Amino acid sequence: MSKTPHKLHIKKGDTVYVNAGDDRGKTGKVLEVFPAKSRAIVEGINLVSKHTKPNAKTPQGGIVKQESTIHISNLQVVDPTSGKPTRIGRRANEEGKLVRYAKKSQEEIK
């Protein structure tokens, strides 16, 4: 039932702003992106409590807080110049390669 993955406006390593949900207004760094599900894991955002059995990593076991996925429609890339959330566009650069740019400042996003 997985949809065909398509180009997303968010990539791993981007700093993003959360515009919906319990963590609305927070910013974080994207750790992982799942294009087929249109979801991403953001550092410190959408924390869930996971019950773990004792193992080598956690000998005590217990409840561990960890990041869960968040839908990419609830995320906006932060503009590198102003530090504010912005929409993303695509355009060809000098070499003719498609690059992402911030619509607010027209600045290229690396």
Which fold is adopted by the domain 15-53+62-109?
Answer: SH3 type barrels. (2.30.30)
**Residue-range domain boundaries for the chain:** 15-53+62-109
pLDDT at residue 24 in the model: 96
Which of these, 17, 5, 15, lies nearest to 74 by C-alpha position? Answer: 17
- pLDDT per position in the chain (110 positions), as tens? 556 667 889 999 999 999 999 999 999 999 999 999 999 999 999 999 999 999 998 899 899 999 999 999 999 999 988 899 999 999 998 898 999 999 999 999 88
Whole-model pTM? Answer: 0.82
Dihedral angle of Cα 92, 96, 97, 103, to the nearest 10 degrees: -10
pLDDT at residue 80 in the model: 86
